[in-house]
A and B are shown apart, each in its own frame.
Chain A
Amino acid sequence: MRVRIINLKHSYKSGRQIIQPLKNINLELEPLQTHALVGVSGAGKSTLFHILSGIIHPEEGRIFYDDLEWTALSPDEKNHYRSLHIGIVFQNHLLLPYLTAWENLTLPLKITGKWNASSEQKAWDLLKELQLQDRAHHLASQLSGGESQRVAIARAVITEPRLILADEPTGQLDEDSAEHTITLLFNLSQRFKATLFVITHDFSIANRCQTIWRLSKGIVYCEKS
């Protein structure tokens, strides 16, 4: 999926102060490539992530996913499109604690109506690949941080999205788990032919990406291409 952001502006209130982290964002993500967005804390990376994932609506500017104008969609249309074409990985895994690993993984299939025998087999294969087959029926609250994040990544790709958005996916993991998890993320995005957009401040992760974008003082520029 090709992503184009044109003249994106956004501000929010913090107490009495108005903060404008995104002043004029213009960028284009090439399809099937891996992209990283880096920047200091408070630069507006997460705000951009939330806008791209449709959690918040920008004040100004346009976003295109291929030829579809994302910013012109209603919340429900965004919701529908996202469930079919965008996979999202959060810094905190955000698994539903009352569902098992298996149920968390397969929930998007059920919600999008893609639940059938072949998708179930695919989910099992994915779980085996993640080395989580023994933990399939454990509740999310019983999984370790690394296991939870792997399930969250699998959940993001299970519907075979064309765009994967990941916000600090290894932010809360130790070094070994982080390495394992990020490798998984890259492999899966490659296998499912998705554009990967990772927000991070870890340069070892950013350096794995084909393109690195830096967000600074409300604008984005390409640091490595």
Chain B
Amino acid sequence: MIWVTTFLSQVVFLSTQFFRLSLEEQLYQKAQKNFRSDITISQRFLFSQLLIQELARETNATNWAEEIEFFSMIKVIKVKQNVEQLVLVKAVSSNYPIRGIIKNHNQEVVSFKKDKDKNKENKPFIDIDSYLSDLLGVHPGDTLQLGNKTFFVRNLLPSDTSATFRLGQLAPLVYISIEDLPDTELVSQFSTFNHNLQLTFSHFHQMEQAKKHLLNRFKKNPEISILDSQEYGEQWLRPARWVLDFFSLFAFIGFIGSFFFLLYRHQLFIQDNLAQYFILNIFGKPLSRLAQEEVFRFGLRETLMLAVSLLSSGILVGFIQSQVFNHFVFPRWQSIIFFVSLIFFIIWLTLFFESYQIIRNLNLNQALNAFQSSILYRPALGIRYHIVRWCSYVILVSLLGASLFPAKYLWVSLLATIGGHTLLVVGCSWILAHIISKWGYQLPWSFSLPLLRIARSLSSLLVKWSVLSFMVLQVLMVFHLRTIFHREIVGDPNNAKPTVFLFDIPEEDKDSLLEWLEKRGVQALVPSPFIRARIIRHNGRPWEREMNGVDVTREQQTIQQIRSRGLNLTIRDQLTSSETATAQLPLNNFGSRLPISLEKRFAERMGLKLGDQLTIDIQNIEFDTIVYQLRTVRWNSFLPNFFAQVPSGFIDEVPKVWLAAAHIPKDQLTTIIKELRQKFPGVSLVNLEQIRMEFDQLLELLQFSFLLISAANLIAFLTVIVFVFVLTFSFRHSEWHLLNILGISRQMINRLQINEVLFFLALAILTATTFSWLLREIVQHLIHS
């Protein structure tokens, strides 16, 4: 029974871990599909080709590409001139903003045909969005003039290039081959552009390593930003990771349980062989020699068992994956093997040491007198043994933790989770045990007996209570988590969230767009101006933007990225429904300083306080401001929200674009988006409904996976419970006999058992319900923020 229990626990633990990692890889692959590359390194100047090659080599990227994004929009006007059946489109000024990208790869192009006439015409090529093609009446073979340069239109991009993001319709794109960059002189024409180097990797862990390397290489360079697809996909992946880690926690507990089974089995193993040691020792075999032989025997058996566990886990995971994903994904296998081997190596090492210590120092006289007594071990175990065992536990738990929760903040959060629950269980059980011990005997004996039995065998209480409450907690959390995510993303059906988010609305188009929407029965929600600003000075000192080295946490990296980026600013006199002011100075007596309101978390991350003086730069004009308000923002409201906002009347005249959200009924969504795109092609649009659908699909996948993991975990927990009962059965049996002798009928003995189980269950359910509620609040808060 003990063998079966240990074996099952090992298989379940390993399977859950393998499965969890493969799920993470699945999520990573999903993120890859939605984002163009794994890591993007950007700077406001051109990277040299030499540096690009160096970086690709240093990071072991499997592929790399570069592109130059024009952040200043190109103004184009269509002027048709028939010249030998070609259409020349001269770009001088227009109502159509275009996002331009110069790049050296063409994966977004539907069909890419090298034009043989390039040399003849001696013109650089350009690929254009087919929608822009319709709009301008430009076709392959035509000529298009951008800035001072004329381009030969080589090919059309798919009409919805932005659909690769599955976000919605972004402004039309033009693509220029990077080979033609020297010809275009475009870089010199636009003051704002980013040179992006996109690196792609074959595995998740390679990306992590590359990012560390790049952060280290470019530390303290404020002009270079490094973003990975995880950063882009954080909104998608974070909740999924949370849930994965949450379930891994249970596997972790199961494994710890199995570890203790192993220790117990080890004791039994030695105990069973005491007679043999005694006889062999009597006939002259030294105990040290016996110890060596036993260590070898034990190690051989356990290693074989581990091998079988690994094999079974592999088969199990293979089967589950083939059912869930239709193909087998086994990522990071080197890491897994490394971690598992190291963990088990430490376990074996500890047990070998233990065997050796016990057998070598056994007092055989005592063994003769009390053959089956576990007291025998105590004199055999010295302080060295305890130190080694303690250290191995610490290393073991650290390693397991490190393999389970690689992200630093999840590690902390989940340790807090398990710590909190354990504390709750241990604390409550200690207090309860104390109370019951003192007063429990006053109760009628049919209650006092099971209560005292539980209260005074604290270790048994802890094991059973923890296991039961974790089982219940897990079941409850499956439902809680699903509800949390659904509510956060999809929202309350009675209070419908926006379905589209509109941005890049030119100032001159704003009023006509709002009017156009209104005619279709759609009310634009919170239309807000969007102004890019940069913090220059903070309380008179220059604003620091430096990137530190690799030792920074994820949170610190985020802070540094925010510090180095610009400040999103709006003009707003009143808070919206998604904002709440938390602190405010009276809105007067600021002199010439511009009062500025900051989002609370942003202010905290940036180290800004109420009353701080900030000098900001908007379009090369400096403004002195003072922080007069801090407010919280519910970002998942999907309404236009900003880190910073100022009241009207101060910077109303600065150049800006507009943002707005709108709730378009689902049945009209496609039609209105299509019409809007035709009428206002320069306006970018995010289809929030599409995002929610994507997320829902992800949730479905995760839910199914969680069910499988939950089932595996429940099996592990059940084995623990069964194991505990098996261990205590013989004692219970004699206890029942004794109680019967003392006059308790069989029916009453049964009732005592039921009382005990009911008491346990009540405790477990109470604890789990309380903690799952607390946990739900924490998770909701974390996701919310």
What distance in Å separates the Cβ of A70 from its nearest Cβ neighbour in chain B?
15
Given contacts A83-B742, A96-B738, A99-B441, 19 further A-B contacts (CB under 8 A): A53-B741, A55-B737, A79-B744, A79-B745, A83-B744, A84-B743, A96-B453, A96-B735, A98-B453, A98-B457, A99-B456, A107-B445, A107-B742, A110-B444, A110-B448, A111-B445, A111-B743, A139-B456, A155-B742
- Show 12 A/B contacts (Cβ-Cβ < 8 Å), sorted by A: A53-B741, A75-B746, A79-B744, A80-B745, A83-B744, A96-B453, A96-B738, A98-B457, A103-B441, A107-B742, A108-B743, A111-B742
The reply to whether A111 and B456 contact each other, CB–CB distance below 8 Å, is no
In angstroms, Cα B548 to Cα A213, docked, is 93
Residue of B nearest to A80 (CB): B743
Set A94, A103, A112: member contacting B743, Cβ < 8 A: A112
In angstroms, Cα B452 to Cα A84, docked, is 24
Given A96-B738, A110-B445, A111-B445; A76-B745 close (CB under 8 Å): yes
Interface size grouping (class) on chain A: 20 to 34
Q: Which of A75, A96, A98 lies at the interface centre, i.e. has the most chain B CB atoms within 10 A of its CB?
A: A98
B668 at interface, CB cutoff 8 A: no
Give the residues in chain B near A107, CB-CB below 8 Å: 445, 742
Residue of A nearest to B454 (CB): A98
What distance in Å separates the Cβ of A32 from its nearest Cβ neighbour in chain B?
23
The reply to whether A82 and B452 contact each other, CB–CB distance below 8 Å, is no
B494 at interface, CB cutoff 8 A: no
In angstroms, Cα B452 to Cα A97, docked, is 10
What distance in Å separates the Cβ of A167 from its nearest Cβ neighbour in chain B?
11
Question: Which residues of B in the span 734-773 have a Cβ within 8 Å of any Cβ on A?
Answer: 734-735, 737-738, 740-746
In angstroms, Cα B738 to Cα A84, docked, is 15
In angstroms, Cα B441 to Cα A98, docked, is 11
Chain B residues near A (Cβ < 8 Å): 441, 444-445, 448, 452-453, 455-457, 734-735, 737-738, 740-746
In angstroms, Cα B745 to Cα A97, docked, is 20
Give the residues in chain B near A97, CB-CB below 8 Å: 456
What distance in Å separates the Cβ of B452 from its nearest Cβ neighbour in chain A?
6
Given A98-B452, A98-B453, A103-B441; A79-B735 close (CB under 8 Å): no
A88 at interface, CB cutoff 8 A: yes
Given A103-B452, A107-B445; A82-B737 close (CB under 8 Å): no
The reply to whether B738 and A79 contact each other, CB–CB distance below 8 Å, is no
Residue of A nearest to B445 (CB): A110
Question: Which residues of A in the span 90-124 have a Cβ within 8 Å of any Cβ on B?
Answer: 94, 96-99, 103, 107-108, 110-112
The reply to whether B734 and A94 contact each other, CB–CB distance below 8 Å, is yes
Residue of A nearest to B738 (CB): A94
What distance in Å separates the Cβ of B207 from its nearest Cβ neighbour in chain A?
56
The reply to whether A99 and B452 contact each other, CB–CB distance below 8 Å, is yes
What distance in Å separates the Cβ of B726 from its nearest Cβ neighbour in chain A?
19
The reply to whether B744 and A55 contact each other, CB–CB distance below 8 Å, is no
The reply to whether B743 and A79 contact each other, CB–CB distance below 8 Å, is yes
In angstroms, Cα B736 to Cα A79, docked, is 13
Dominant SS among interface residues on chain A:
helix
Residue of B nearest to A103 (CB): B441
What distance in Å separates the Cβ of A104 from its nearest Cβ neighbour in chain B?
10
Given A55-B737, A96-B735, A107-B445; A83-B452 close (CB under 8 Å): no
What distance in Å separates the Cβ of B573 from its nearest Cβ neighbour in chain A?
70
Question: Which residues of A in the span 40-84 have a Cβ within 8 Å of any Cβ on B?
Answer: 53, 55, 75-76, 79-80, 82-84
Give the residues in chain A near B741, CB-CB below 8 Å: 53, 55, 82, 88
In angstroms, Cα B740 to Cα A94, docked, is 12
Residue of B nearest to A53 (CB): B741
Give the residues in chain A near B742, CB-CB below 8 Å: 83, 107-108, 111, 155
In angstroms, Cα B738 to Cα A82, docked, is 12
Give the residues in chain B near A111, CB-CB below 8 Å: 445, 742-744
In angstroms, Cα B745 to Cα A56, docked, is 15
In angstroms, Cα B444 to Cα A97, docked, is 19
Give the residues in chain B near A80, CB-CB below 8 Å: 743, 745
Give the residues in chain A near B455, CB-CB below 8 Å: 98
The reply to whether A79 and B456 contact each other, CB–CB distance below 8 Å, is no
The reply to whether A76 and B456 contact each other, CB–CB distance below 8 Å, is no
Give the residues in chain B near A82, CB-CB below 8 Å: 741, 743
What distance in Å separates the Cβ of A102 from its nearest Cβ neighbour in chain B?
8
Given A107-B445, A110-B445, A111-B445; A98-B743 close (CB under 8 Å): no
Give the residues in chain A near B744, CB-CB below 8 Å: 79, 83, 111
Residue of B nearest to A102 (CB): B441
Residue of A nearest to B734 (CB): A94
What distance in Å separates the Cβ of B530 from its nearest Cβ neighbour in chain A?
70
Q: Which of A76, A82, A99, A111 lies at the interface centre, i.e. has the most chain B CB atoms within 10 A of its CB?
A: A111
In angstroms, Cα B734 to Cα A94, docked, is 9
What distance in Å separates the Cβ of B429 from its nearest Cβ neighbour in chain A?
14
Give the residues in chain A near B737, CB-CB below 8 Å: 55
Residue of B nearest to A109 (CB): B445
In angstroms, Cα B735 to Cα A98, docked, is 11
Q: Which of B441, B456, B734, B742 lies at the interface centre, i.e. has the most chain A CB atoms within 10 A of its CB?
A: B742
In angstroms, Cα B448 to Cα A98, docked, is 11
Question: Which residues of A in the span 176-192 have a Cβ within 8 Å of any Cβ on B?
Answer: none
The reply to whether B456 and A98 contact each other, CB–CB distance below 8 Å, is yes
Give the residues in chain B near A53, CB-CB below 8 Å: 741
In angstroms, Cα B737 to Cα A222, docked, is 31
Residue of B nearest to A110 (CB): B445
In angstroms, Cα B737 to Cα A75, docked, is 13
In angstroms, Cα B456 to Cα A67, docked, is 43
In angstroms, Cα B743 to Cα A155, docked, is 12
Residue of A nearest to B731 (CB): A97
In angstroms, Cα B443 to Cα A103, docked, is 12
In angstroms, Cα B743 to Cα A76, docked, is 9
In angstroms, Cα B738 to Cα A55, docked, is 10
Give the residues in chain A near B445, CB-CB below 8 Å: 107, 110-111
In angstroms, Cα B741 to Cα A26, docked, is 25
What distance in Å separates the Cβ of A28 from its nearest Cβ neighbour in chain B?
24
In angstroms, Cα B445 to Cα A112, docked, is 10
Q: Which of A79, A80, A84, A97 lies at the interface centre, i.e. has the most chain B CB atoms within 10 A of its CB?
A: A79
What distance in Å separates the Cβ of B242 from its nearest Cβ neighbour in chain A?
41
In angstroms, Cα B741 to Cα A165, docked, is 12
Give the residues in chain A near B441, CB-CB below 8 Å: 99, 103
Residue of A nearest to B747 (CB): A76
Give the residues in chain B near A112, CB-CB below 8 Å: 743
In angstroms, Cα B448 to Cα A112, docked, is 15
The reply to whether A79 and B452 contact each other, CB–CB distance below 8 Å, is no
The reply to whether B457 and A79 contact each other, CB–CB distance below 8 Å, is no
In angstroms, Cα B737 to Cα A84, docked, is 17
In angstroms, Cα B742 to Cα A112, docked, is 9
In angstroms, Cα B270 to Cα A22, docked, is 40
Residue of A nearest to B455 (CB): A98
What distance in Å separates the Cβ of B453 from its nearest Cβ neighbour in chain A?
5
Q: Which of B456, B457, B737 lies at the interface centre, i.e. has the most chain A CB atoms within 10 A of its CB?
A: B456
In angstroms, Cα B735 to Cα A75, docked, is 17
In angstroms, Cα B457 to Cα A110, docked, is 22
Give the residues in chain A near B452, CB-CB below 8 Å: 98-99, 103
In angstroms, Cα B457 to Cα A97, docked, is 9
What distance in Å separates the Cβ of A74 from its nearest Cβ neighbour in chain B?
11
Given A55-B737, A103-B441; A83-B743 close (CB under 8 Å): yes
What distance in Å separates the Cβ of B308 from its nearest Cβ neighbour in chain A?
34
What distance in Å separates the Cβ of B736 from its nearest Cβ neighbour in chain A?
11
Give the residues in chain A near B453, CB-CB below 8 Å: 96, 98
In angstroms, Cα B744 to Cα A156, docked, is 15
Against B, the Cβ 8 Å flags (1 = close, 0 = not) of A134-170 are 0000010000000000000001000000000000000
Residue of B nearest to A76 (CB): B745
In angstroms, Cα B746 to Cα A158, docked, is 22
In angstroms, Cα B737 to Cα A99, docked, is 16
Residue of B nearest to A159 (CB): B743
Give the residues in chain A near B456, CB-CB below 8 Å: 97-99, 139
Q: Which of B448, B735, B740 lies at the interface centre, i.e. has the most chain A CB atoms within 10 A of its CB?
A: B740
What distance in Å separates the Cβ of A6 from its nearest Cβ neighbour in chain B?
24
Q: Which of B448, B456, B741 lies at the interface centre, i.e. has the most chain A CB atoms within 10 A of its CB?
A: B741
What distance in Å separates the Cβ of A154 from its nearest Cβ neighbour in chain B?
13
